[in-house]
């Protein structure tokens, strides 16, 4: 839900978007933005401008850009600027604060999205184009920590949007059910090591749900940034998880993106984990049509996941480097890595374990991104060993 909207206005705005989503295949043309919605945008923009927010939204949503975009809507789903910026207006502590309510938003609101994309993805300019998909071979990358001194576990994931559907803020309850049915059918066709079981959240036993969350397999409701962006509507309808028998390959259904495809295991064998994910992605791509833009690559709800949408991460202990957080940040920036808490974004580190991942998703092929991540983690481990011996 859009937390900053008055209840009546929230229902009005999201209800209209939902109705248009039901008729998503028909082009309705750009609609007009309601006066009340404009008033909410004006109020939210003023508060954001006066805040101490360090978000990319505040930095790039200038008065000029705001005035230019505030009356625009997307052709098929009637999404407004408010859909895009609602999370950042609610949460001034956002890092980005911007989401796409439907695939068309990236073009209609390009004057805002493009500079945010360029800064986050390290100079991916408006004139740049995402390279063609090239997975390469994970076998090219040696185990980062064969003796198990530093890396607790490794995970590689990517997001995908199914063609013909908008993103969370414009999905109706029927859309969620239709998407879940399509995705469930696709994952049920997986064979070999990828074969497993789909479990819907609706009706899931609470003790099983809690265990899956505690074991870092399942996502959970409650992220205020996603909720304010409209990603938690009709929860838990249409949501679920597919898990293979070995519990090292899983697919999230309708969490943030339509699909999150994840490969994971204990230890630091990044190449092996990556290859498992790639095989799963390619198999699912034969069952489902994924939305890929010629310039931006695979389209996702959050602009931070565009391009390849790949996020490779390790849970890692670097006790000596972690004692010097400023030096740690410098090294992470040097290697183009992102440091998060143990449970990912907006979480704290537990037991000295941090989640470290590649920051860039765009401007490189999938293989090049994994190589950048691999080389960066290798560099951090080398720095940790030097810090320990000094």
256 classed as catalytic:
yes
Establish whether 53 is an annotated binding residue: no
Establish whether 155 is an annotated binding residue: yes
292 classed as catalytic:
no
Establish whether 315 is an annotated binding residue: yes
Establish whether 216 is an annotated binding residue: yes
Residue from 311, 361, 365, 372 carrying the catalytic annotation: 311
Contact 290, 152 (CB under 8 A): no
Establish whether 86 is an annotated binding residue: no
Compute the C-alpha angle 89/293/90, nearest 5°.
5
260 classed as catalytic:
yes
Residue from 24, 73, 157, 384 carrying the catalytic annotation: 157
Residue from 84, 170, 279, 302 carrying the catalytic annotation: 302
Q: H/E/C letters for each residue in 104-152?
A: CHHHHCHHHHHHHHHHHCCCCCCCCCCCCCCCCCHHHCCCCCCCCCCEE
345 classed as catalytic:
yes
Detail the DSSP E strand segments found in 226-352: 240-244, 249-253, 259-266, 292-293, 297-298, 311-317, 337-340
282 classed as catalytic:
no
Establish whether 33 is an annotated binding residue: no
62 classed as catalytic:
no
157 classed as catalytic:
yes
Establish whether 8 is an annotated binding residue: no
Close Cβ partners of 203 (under 8 Å, ≥ 6 residues apart)? none
Residue from 24, 233, 260, 361 carrying the catalytic annotation: 260
311 classed as catalytic:
yes
Establish whether 18 is an annotated binding residue: no
Residue from 16, 224, 292, 340 carrying the catalytic annotation: 340
Residue from 336, 345, 368, 385 carrying the catalytic annotation: 345
Establish whether 344 is an annotated binding residue: yes
Establish whether 71 is an annotated binding residue: no
Residue from 73, 304, 308, 365 carrying the catalytic annotation: 304
Sort strands 311-317 and 353-358 into parallel, antiparallel or unpaired: antiparallel
Compute the C-alpha angle 18/30/15, nearest 5°.
15
Establish whether 177 is an annotated binding residue: no
Compute the C-alpha angle 107/112/117, nearest 5°.
85
Residues annotated as binding site?
Answer: 153-157, 216, 260, 311-315, 340-345
Residues annotated as binding site for ATP?
Answer: 153-157, 216, 260, 311-315, 340-345
- The residues assigned a catalytic role are 157, 256, 260, 302, 304, 311, 340, 345
């Amino acid at each position: 839900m859009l937390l900053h909207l008055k209840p009546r206005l929230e229902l009005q705005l999201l209800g209209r978007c939902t109705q248009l989503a039901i008729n998503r295949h028909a082009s309705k043309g750009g609609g007009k933005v309601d006066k009340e919605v404009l008033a909410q945008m004006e109020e939210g923009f003023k508060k954001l401008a006066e805040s101490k927010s360090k978000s990319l939204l505040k930095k790039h949503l200038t008065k000029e850009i705001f005035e230019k975009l505030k009356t625009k809507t997307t052709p098929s789903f009637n999404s407004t600027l408010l859909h895009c910026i609602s999370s950042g207006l609610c949460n001034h502590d956002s890092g980005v604060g911007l989401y796409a309510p439907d695939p068309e938003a990236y073009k209609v609101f390009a004057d805002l999205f493009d500079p945010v994309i360029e800064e986050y993805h390290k100079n991916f300019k408006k004139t740049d184009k995402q390279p063609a998909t090239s997975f390469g071979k994970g076998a090219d990358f040696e185990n980062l920590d064969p003796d198990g001194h530093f890396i607790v576990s490794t995970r590689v994931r990517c997001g995908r949007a199914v063609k013909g559907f908008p993103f969370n803020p414009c999905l109706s309850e029927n859309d969620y059910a239709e998407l879940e049915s399509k995705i469930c059918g696709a994952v049920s066709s997986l064979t070999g090591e990828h074969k497993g079981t789909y479990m819907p959240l609706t009706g899931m036993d609470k003790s099983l749900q809690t265990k899956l969350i505690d074991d870092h397999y399942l996502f959970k409701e409650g992220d205020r940034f996603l909720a304010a962006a409209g990603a938690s509507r009709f929860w838990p309808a249409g949501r679920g998880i597919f898990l293979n028998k070995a519990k090292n390959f899983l697919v999230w259904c309708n969490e943030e993106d339509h699909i999150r495809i994840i490969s994971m295991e204990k230890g630091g064998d990044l190449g092996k984990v990556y290859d498992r994910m790639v095989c799963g992605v390619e198999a699912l791509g034969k069952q489902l049509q994924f939305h890929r833009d010629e310039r931006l690559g695979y389209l996702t709800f959050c602009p931070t996941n565009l391009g390849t949408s790949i996020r490779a991460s390790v849970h890692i202990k670097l006790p000596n480097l972690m004692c010097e957080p400023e030096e740690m940040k410098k090294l992470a920036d040097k290697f183009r890595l992102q440091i998060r808490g143990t449970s990912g974004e907006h979480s704290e580190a537990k037991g000295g374990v941090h989640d470290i991942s590649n920051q860039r998703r765009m401007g490189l092929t999938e293989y090049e991104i994994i190589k950048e991540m691999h080389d960066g983690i290798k560099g951090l481990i080398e720095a940790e060993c030097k810090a320990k011996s000094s």
